[in-house]
């Protein structure tokens, strides 16, 4: 089951700032090709759920990781980014299909749990700093 667009976006932005420096939301949005307002809710959710911390202040302000990148799994990021757990109500009749979807979701998170943000960051292509 492929990850949702917002799951991938959350992982991309967390990997982008995995070096520990604070990055302003508008700079992240520009690097990801998004409008700042569209990214702000995701950044706030990630901060509220303990993945990011917001720092106020001129040049040092912005968002940074709340803890070391080696201690944050891809699963942590995706779970923190989601507004709510996936809904299975749309599966009307088949409990077998519902079980299958739940199992796929669990397998996905089991796989994501094995990947740290530090490992993703060390494998990324170099990007320009903003």
C-alpha span between 56 and 72 (Å, rounded): 23
pLDDT value for 91: 66
pLDDT tens digit sequence for 6-15? 899 999 999 9
pLDDT tens digit sequence for 24-80? 999 999 988 888 888 999 999 999 999 999 887 666 679 999 999 999 999 999 999
C-alpha span between 28 and 33 (Å, rounded): 8
C-alpha span between 24 and 54 (Å, rounded): 9
Is 1:102 a contact under the CB 8 Å cutoff?
no
Burial of 64 (0-12, 13-18, 19+ CB in 10 A): middle
pTM: 0.81
Domains defined along the chain, listed by start: 5-122 (1.10.10.10)
């Amino acid at each position: 089951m492929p990850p949702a667009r917002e799951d991938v976006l959350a992982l991309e932005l967390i990997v982008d700032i995995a070096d520990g420096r604070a990055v302003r939301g508008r700079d992240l949005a520009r690097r990801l090709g998004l409008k700042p307002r569209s990214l702000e809710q995701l950044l706030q959710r990630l901060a509220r759920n303990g993945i990011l911390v917001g720092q106020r202040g001129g040049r040092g302000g912005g968002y940074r990781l709340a803890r070391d990148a080696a201690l944050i799994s891809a699963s942590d990021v995706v779970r923190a980014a989601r507004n709510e757990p996936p809904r299975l109500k749309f599966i009307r009749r088949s409990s077998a299909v519902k079980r299958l979807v739940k199992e796929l979701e669990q397998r996905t998170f089991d796989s994501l749990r094995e990947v740290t943000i530090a490992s993703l960051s060390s494998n990324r292509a170099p990007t320009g700093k903003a």
